[in-house]
Amino acid sequence: MNRADFSGIRVWRGFRAMSLLNKRDEFDIKITEIFISQTVQQMTPLGLQAYFPLLVPAESNPPPTKKPLPDEIALVVYPSKTQYDKATKTSVAGKAYGLLHATVFNFDKSAALPASQSDAPLAWQSHAKTWQWDQSYQLLNKPVDWHKGETWVYLARHDGSLRQQLRATIARWRRKHGRYINAAIVAVSKDYVIYWENRPSGSNQHSFVAQLENLTTQTAVHSQAKIMIADPLFTMPATTPSITSGKLFDLRL
């Protein structure tokens, strides 16, 4: 796999559709039997380079909660924004895949659940005065092959106090540890933080997770990606991937 630039990466936070609000089991079935497999089956031929999905454990998100975590998170990697746009906006397969999201995810900002979202990570600016809630940022400005080394994700709740501490914490970590890590992406909402990291095997002592644990209140997920191979698109009968909630997967064809 070639090194991807960050403009082609999408940081996904998915909240289930309102029709599935009290049907988490049904949501999980639809995600594992159709949606997750369909992503690599349909989009890999169109340029998808890497796909890391994770179902957030239901027990981390008991309903009703006023501050829910996403039901599914994912890192979706294309080589560039140009390739991502071509794949998702100019092909019939890509357009159909986009429409599939609405069958399982909420996009209504006025609904009881937050709207699902994805974005491309912006470069973290050390000297900028502010950063935005719900915007993802890449902390190390270097292209990376996400299929080399180890890919990890960390998801945790926070109480808002990290707003004042995050910038200084990132600056200290980058000076001391940044050169040992391949890629680092952080996205902070007003209630939770998601952090994606790719690092050489055996370099966990340099991970930014240790810093985030001091800024968060409750860890929901901390998982290393496990490679899983999906069936080709037209396989009959199809095999449902053995997706375990709380576990990160590196799904490939």
1 within domain boundaries: no
How many independent structural domains does the chain possess? 1
Is residue 143 scored above 90 in pLDDT? no
Contact 13, 70 (CB under 8 A): yes
Cα 176 from Cα 169, distance rounded (Å): 11
Is residue 111 scored above 80 in pLDDT? yes
Contact 43, 87 (CB under 8 A): yes
42 within domain boundaries: yes
145 within domain boundaries: yes
Average pLDDT over residues 129-148: 90
148 within domain boundaries: yes
Place of tokens 């180890």: 150
DSSP character string of 188-216: E-SSEEEEEEEE-TT-GGG-THHHHHTT-
pLDDT band at 60 (very low <50, low <70, confident <90, very high): confident
- State the residue range of the domain holding 178: 6-252
170 within domain boundaries: yes
232 within domain boundaries: yes
184 within domain boundaries: yes
Cα 51 from Cα 102, distance rounded (Å): 19
> What CATH number should be reported for the domain holding residue 25?
3.30.70.100
Q: Where are the beta strands (DSSP E) in the chain?
A: 9-14, 50-55, 72-77, 117-119, 122-123, 136-138, 150-157, 183-188, 192-199, 218-224, 226-229, 249-252
pLDDT in tens, 3-39: 667 899 999 999 999 999 999 999 999 999 999 999 9
